[in-house]
């Protein structure tokens, strides 16, 4: 399989056969989220709430993200937390420091998406 068009060199560097080349770890602690070659690189739009917010901020700030690692089965994760359901979505967090959302879980398809920009890819 060839990589989809329009992939940046940064992404190219962390890909191997369309999968994550190295283990994914938390940006804030050493917790290992996913083993190498388990996540499939996908490009799709999803607005993920910001990891932190200002005090008294009522509406959550969201970031439009496009690059995700897709994980088919939740038990393929090494360590991950699932939030309570909000608006039909479960958000994914680091299982050790609770930093997140690092991605989201689709309740219908049961697929999981980890934002490439919210984890350490090397």
Partner 1 sequence: MAKKTYDLLFKLLLIGDSGVGKTSILFRFSDDAFTSTFISTIGIDFKIKTVELRGKKIKLQIWDTAGQERFHTITTSYYRGAMGIMLVYDVTDERSFENIVKWLRNIDEHANEDVEKMILGNKCDIDGKRAVSKDRGDAIAREYGVPFLETSAKANTNIDKAFNDLATAILDKFAGKEPGDAPDRVMVDPRRGDTSRRSCC
- Shorter beta-carbon distance to Zn ion: residue 39 or 100: 100
User: Of Zn ion, partner 1, none, which one does residue 86 interact with (CB within 5 to 8 Å by kind)?
Assistant: partner 1
Q: Is 29 in the site for Zn ion (CB under 5 A)?
A: yes
Q: Is 97 in the site for partner 1 (CB under 8 A)?
A: yes
Asked whether the beta carbons of 46 and 65 are under 8 A apart, the reply is yes
List the 112-115 sheet strands across, edge first: 15-16, 19-20, 40-49, 62-71, 112-115, 103-106, 89-93
- Shorter beta-carbon distance to Zn ion: residue 13 or 29: 29
Write out the H or E segment, with its range, that includes residue 13. Answer: helix 9-14
Can you give the binding site for partner 1, defined by CB under 8 A? 28-29, 35, 37-38, 49-53, 60, 72-86, 90-91, 93, 95-101
């Amino acid at each position: 399989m060839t990589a989809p068009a329009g992939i940046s060199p940064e992404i190219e560097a962390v890909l191997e056969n369309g999968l994550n080349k190295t283990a994914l770890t938390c940006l804030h602690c050493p917790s290992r989220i996913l083993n190498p070659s388990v996540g499939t690189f996908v490009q799709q739009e999803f607005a993920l709430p910001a990891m932190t917010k200002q005090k008294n901020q009522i509406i959550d700030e969201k970031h439009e993200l496009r690059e995700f690692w897709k994980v088919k089965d939740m038990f393929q994760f090494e360590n991950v937390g699932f939030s309570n359901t909000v608006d039909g979505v479960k958000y994914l967090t680091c299982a050790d420091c609770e930093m997140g959302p690092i991605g989201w879980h689709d309740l219908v398809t049961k697929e999981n998406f980890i934002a490439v920009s919210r984890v350490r890819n090397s």
